[in-house]
């Protein structure tokens, strides 16, 4: 017992010296179809880790994008604005060699029971200023939007993702 206590103390000292990661959990809203869940974001040294837990979605693949405003107030979630971007014109598409759309993320798979749990990493965004990445927690925040269809990663402006079916305000 004494030996493990000695080994544990240096480990605790190292943990205390490491800076805490900036993180937040936000509710996932739907229109009237009962989609619910949560979105958890954790800032990492070279991007953001995103965990999505959703219930009540249509089974299959769905596009997921970061949008430019923390506003899911209207019925179609259009108040969340366009995708997060830092250059104009914004060019969509993870498979587009000219793509510069910082809101692009991989598709989310929803099982037959309407639930999805997934974790993504985006090297294009941050939860703080002072980086060359888009700050999701800027003055007007941002939103995570789940669309009705999958993203084809090429088509402009949103990869054929279709209607916005769920939204989470990040602020």
The residues pairing with 103 across neighbouring beta strands, listed in sequence order, are none
Decide if 14 is inside a domain. Answer: no
11 within domain boundaries = no
Return the number of other C-beta atoms located less than 10 Å from residue 107's C-beta: 22
Inside any domain, residue 7: no
Contact in structure between 169 and 137 (CB atoms under 8 Å): no
CATH (domain of 130)? 2.60.40.200
Residue pLDDT, tens place only, 74-130: 989 999 999 998 888 889 999 999 888 999 999 999 999 999 999 999 999 999 888
Please determine, for residue 20, whether its predicted confidence score (pLDDT) is greater than 80.
no
- In order of 23, 35, 47, 161, the CA distances from 131 in angstroms are 16, 34, 10, 29
Torsion angles phi and psi, residue 152, rounded to 5 = -85, 0
Q: Is residue 88 part of a domain?
A: yes
Rounded Cα distance, 133 and 130, in Å:
8
If one counts the domains in the chain, the total is 1
Lowest-confidence region among 49-63, 90-104, 134-148: 90-104
Mean pLDDT of the chain: 87
- Asked, for residue 93, whether it belongs to a domain, the answer is yes
> 152 lies in a domain?
yes
Query: Is 51 a domain residue?
Result: yes
Residue pair 67/82 in contact by the 8 Å Cβ criterion: yes
Of residues 33 and 44, the one with the higher pLDDT is 44
The answer, yes or no, to whether residue 145 has pLDDT greater than 60, is yes
Q: Would you state the pLDDT for residue 61?
A: 98
Q: Which domain holds residue 159?
A: 21-170
Residue 1 placed within a domain: no
Cβ proximity of 98 and 91 under 8 Å: yes
Whether the bond into 157 is cis, omega within 30 of 0 = yes
Count of CA atoms in the C-beta half-sphere (13 A) of 101 = 27
């Amino acid at each position: 017992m004494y030996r493990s206590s000695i080994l544990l103390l240096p480990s605790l000292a190292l943990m205390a010296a490491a800076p805490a990661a900036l993180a937040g959990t936000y509710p996932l809203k739907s229109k009237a179809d009962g989609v619910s869940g949560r979105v958890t974001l954790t800032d990492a040294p070279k991007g953001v880790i995103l965990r999505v837990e959703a219930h009540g979605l249509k089974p299959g693949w769905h596009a997921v994008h970061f949008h430019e405003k923390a506003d899911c107030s209207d019925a179609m979630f259009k108040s969340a604005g366009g995708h997060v971007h830092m250059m104009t014109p914004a060019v969509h598409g993870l498979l587009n060699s000219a793509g510069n759309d910082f809101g692009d993320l991989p598709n989310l798979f929803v099982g037959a029971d309407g639930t999805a749990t997934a974790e993504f990493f985006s090297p294009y965004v941050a939860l703080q200023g002072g980086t060359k990445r888009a700050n999701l927690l800027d003055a007007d925040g941002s939103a995570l939007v789940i669309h009705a269809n999958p993203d084809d990663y090429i088509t402009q402006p949103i990869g054929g993702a279709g209607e916005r079916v769920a939204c989470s305000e990040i602020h």
